[in-house]
Structure 1
């Protein structure tokens, strides 16, 4: 698919200037897409993300933020000539294998699953109750990134004692 020219959001921030953006999540995944504009549209229609901010020039997305509930992902164009190019690969360059993936909690995982499938997401682990007790599924987006979606994360009955982890090393 060819990318489209977009007008830059009115929330555009000049380089080097901080934005007044409240961040609820302190861990925010960063993804890169070869066709970031198409990916943004697809992630919004297939997964229900909402665009919060897009900084772009021509066909290159320098920085975008998409939200889902209290969570956020950031993304930009792959092969954009930045330092990140040396450190990151796209899923098709690794045989589709990932070393990380995003997990997103959704209100209605059944409806979310149907929406993602209708949008063409490649389901790699069908919607089911996983061994950890959570109803979830895994799929790939249009450029092959692996995503997990599920219902609310169950609370642990007993928090693990931190001192026990040292003994495992």
Structure 2
């Protein structure tokens, strides 16, 4: 049982779930769609961790859409290429994971880095949520 489970909201939940599986190598665990086709609840296994996601109400907009009309959010994106309210996922091989994410159109926020914690990179998904992937030091 995981002690912390991130819960993310997406405008296009089913599309986001498919993309996260394809680009980041997560395994789909749950997909509950409403009568209108919106994702009411989704879960992925992220290399042993769990992440929940769902579509927001019809007025929700993801980080990418929000920064298109919010100057402050646009500045955060332009001036701070790091993870803001994002998710850190430990992966077995950061270089291979980065190549897969790039192949599926993830926005890469800087390349592979060596850090005191291990090899890592940062990425943004199509709706603008930011992720950090870390291959921990041995």
User: Shift in Å at residue 143 of structure 1?
Assistant: 0.6
TM-score, scaled relative to structure 2: 0.81
Paired residue for 1:163? none
When Rg is computed on C-alpha atoms for both structures, the one with the higher figure is 1
For this pair of structures, how many residues does the alignment match? 124
Write the distance in 2 (CA, Å) between the matches of 1:54 and 1:28.
Answer: 16
Of residues 88, 91, 96, the one that matches 2:63 is 91
Please state which structure has a larger fraction of its residues in helix: 2
Query: What whole-Å deviation, never above 9, does each CA across 1:86-122 have from its counterpart, x for those lacking one?
Result: xxx6212133656411010111111101000000100
Of residues 10, 13, 21, the one that matches 1:44 is 21
Query: Structure 1 unaligned runs (5+)?
Result: 1-23, 155-169
Q: CA RMSD in A?
A: 1.9
Aligned pairs (5 A) from 1:68-83: 68-80=46-58
User: Shift in Å at residue 46 of structure 1?
Assistant: 0.2
Query: Structure 2 unaligned runs (5+)?
Result: 67-72, 78-82
> Which one scores higher on RCO, CA 8 angstroms, separation ≥ 6?
2
User: Shift in Å at residue 41 of structure 1?
Assistant: 0.6
User: Shift in Å at residue 153 of structure 1?
Assistant: 5.7
TM-score, scaled relative to structure 1: 0.67
Please state which structure has a larger fraction of its residues in strand: 2
Write the distance in 2 (CA, Å) between the matches of 1:99 and 1:44.
Answer: 22
User: Shift in Å at residue 59 of structure 1?
Assistant: 2.0
Of residues 102, 124, 133, the one that matches 1:117 is 102
State yes or no: 1:142 paired with 2:126. yes
Which stretch shifts more, 97-106 or 120-129?
97-106
